């Protein structure tokens, strides 16, 4: 495991630093906004702390970005130019850009899948030889899930999309900075072989301008093709000439981060409140129920529009290009559904004999909830969380599709914005612009639902068989 982390240390550490950067920005932005209405002096102190902490983290991130990685584009480059004699210069081993990119792409996917497998094997070793408890409810869920093909499909889809979010810069034939955000920066120039047979230099932005896909044969760079500047495009280009694969990898990162933060926040609130309301019941349970009903009654789209407009020009609205604010709103509007889903199992577990026994021995309620209740409701929480995250992903894409200040702020890539850009070309030779992002959304949401189905069947294997369904129906009658 040490070797697996070491060969891609810069990538893993960069992701950790980036997430910490966003977290510091988001938390300090919330505190600064709250204090600005009470004590402006303290708000300024928070801003000063934010400036120093974020500056330090970004310096660390810049240093990490200069470190080489085993599967990075520095060691396996795919961008180069053809020479007059037909050979390629600047690419890995002088191979064609498509071949060099395919090698790097395949190695990264294989590395990610093997790393996930190695983590799982390590957990099995820990469970068998080092864990204090001989058995937990999670063991049965994992063992049952190992034989559930549909659930395993969902898990593989999740790993692949997490790989896209983590290694998107190396997976793509170009970088988001070069191809989308700063195509006219001095360092983002590319070389190509002109029609006159000479090697020329051009800005990536000018190359994009002449590589647009706009529905006609003469203005289209399709799937698995090259443009006139020796650049390979696995998914073709957008109407503005940007590489669609690079756009999709950037969109995968922001989508997974925002949806992950939203569902994690919602699940954390739902888990805490479900155990508290199940353990103490009475007025606390009624109070949580009343609050959840109030939150559910708020139209989500209206809340998104209102909050986005109010915080558009604040620190909070700029964190993760508006993604942090969206994650907060999605978490706020999602937790009541998760709480309702796990409240029943939590109430059932709270009445079990081992919980009462722990109380009689004087264990603190916090420890009882963590050790004796949480393991039994965690599986149910994972089921409904994995199914709910699909709705968050679709809603996030829909907001970016609508545009007009909603969703992720441009130029940060967003899947919905790609679908919107290509909707006029669906029936033309540029069909790839909308179809590929749409298929990726469908695949991710389907995978998350499959994972939820797998966990549900792992919790109660009888639901997989007709006999189990008949028994459940008979019991309900």
Residue with tokens 């969109």: 251
* CA-based nearest residue to 389, from 245, 476, 475, 261: 261
- In the numeric block, which tokens belong to residue 386? 């994995």
Task: Specify the pTM.
Answer: 0.90
Let me know: does 227 contact 211? Beta carbons within 8 Å: yes
Structure tokens given for 6: 């070491």
Report which of 340, 337, 377, 385 is spatially closest to residue 355, judged by C-alpha positions.
Answer: 377
Computed from CA positions of residues 120, 124, 126, 131, in that sequence, does the dihedral angle turn out positive or negative?
A: positive
CA dihedral (366, 371, 377, 379) positive or negative: positive
pLDDT in tens, the chain (477 residues): 999 999 999 999 988 898 888 888 888 888 888 888 788 888 888 888 888 998 999 899 888 888 888 888 889 999 988 888 889 999 999 999 999 999 999 999 999 999 999 999 999 999 999 988 888 878 888 999 988 999 999 999 999 999 999 999 899 999 999 999 999 999 899 999 988 888 899 999 999 999 999 999 999 999 999 999 989 999 999 999 999 999 999 999 999 999 999 999 999 999 999 999 999 988 999 999 999 999 999 888 888 888 877 877 777 778 888 898 899 999 999 999 999 999 999 999 998 888 888 888 888 989 999 888 998 899 899 999 999 999 999 999 999 998 777 889 888 999 999 999 999 999 999 999 999 999 999 999 999 999 999 999 998 776 554 443 343 333 333
Residue 472 pLDDT: 34
Question: What CA–CA distance (Å, rounded) separates 273 from 253?
Answer: 30
Measured distance CA(368)–CA(373) in Å, rounded: 7
Distances (CA, A) of 57 to 69, 244, 282: 20, 30, 46
Locate the DSSP E strands across 336-400: none
Distance CA 385, CA 355 (A): 25
């Amino acid at each position: 495991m040490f070797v697996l982390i070491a060969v891609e240390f810069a990538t893993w550490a960069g992701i950790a630093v980036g997430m910490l950067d966003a977290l510091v920005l988001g938390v300090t932005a919330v505190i600064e906004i709250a204090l600005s209405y009470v004590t402006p002096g303290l708000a300024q102190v928070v801003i000063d702390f934010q400036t120093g902490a974020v500056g330090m983290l970004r310096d660390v991130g810049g240093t990490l970005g200069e470190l080489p990685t085993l599967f990075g584009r520095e060691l396996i480059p795919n961008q180069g130019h053809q020479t007059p004699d037909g050979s390629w210069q600047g690419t890995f081993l002088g191979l064609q850009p498509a071949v060099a990119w395919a090698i790097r792409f395949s190695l990264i996917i294989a590395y990610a899948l093997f790393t996930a497998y190695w983590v799982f094997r390590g957990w099995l070793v820990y469970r068998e030889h080092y864990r204090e408890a001989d058995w937990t409810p999670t063991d049965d869920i994992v063992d049952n899930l190992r034989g559930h093909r549909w659930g395993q499909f969902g898990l593989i889809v999740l790993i692949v999309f997490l790989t896209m979010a983590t290694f998107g810069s190396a997976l793509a034939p170009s970088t988001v900075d070069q191809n989308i955000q700063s195509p006219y920066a001095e360092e983002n120039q590319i070389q190509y072989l002109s029609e006159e047979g000479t090697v020329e230099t051009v800005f990536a932005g000018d190359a994009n301008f002449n590589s647009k896909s706009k529905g006609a044969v003469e203005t289209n760079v399709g799937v698995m093709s090259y443009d006139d500047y020796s650049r390979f495009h696995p998914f073709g280009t957008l109407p503005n000439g940007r590489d669609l694969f690079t756009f999709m990898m950037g969109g995968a990162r922001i989508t997974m981060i925002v949806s992950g933060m939203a569902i994690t926040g919602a699940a954390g609130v739902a888990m805490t409140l479900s155990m508290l309301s199940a353990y103490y019941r009475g007025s606390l349970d009624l109070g949580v129920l009343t609050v959840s009903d109030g939150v559910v009654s708020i139209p989500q789209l209206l809340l998104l529009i209102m909050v986005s407009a109010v915080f558009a020009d604040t620190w909070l609205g700029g964190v993760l290009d508006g993604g942090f604010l969206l994650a907060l709103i999605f978490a706020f509007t999602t937790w009541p559904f998760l709480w309702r889903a796990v409240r029943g199992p939590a109430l059932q577990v709270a009445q079990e004999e081992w919980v009462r026994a722990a109380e009689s021995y004087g264990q603190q309620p916090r420890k009882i909830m963590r050790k004796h209740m949480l393991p039994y409701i965690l599986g149910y929480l994972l089921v409904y969380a994995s199914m709910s995250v699909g709705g968050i992903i679709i809603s996030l894409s829909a907001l970016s599709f609508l545009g007009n200040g909603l969703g992720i702020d441009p130029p940060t890539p967003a899947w919905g914005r790609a679908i919107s850009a290509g909707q006029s070309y669906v029936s033309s030779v540029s069909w790839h612009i909308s179809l590929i992002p749409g298929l990726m959304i469908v695949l991710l949401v389907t995978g998350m639902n499959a994972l939820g189905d797998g966990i549900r069947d792992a919790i109660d294997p009888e639901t997989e068989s007709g006999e189990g369904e008949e028994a459940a129906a008979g019991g309900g009658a």
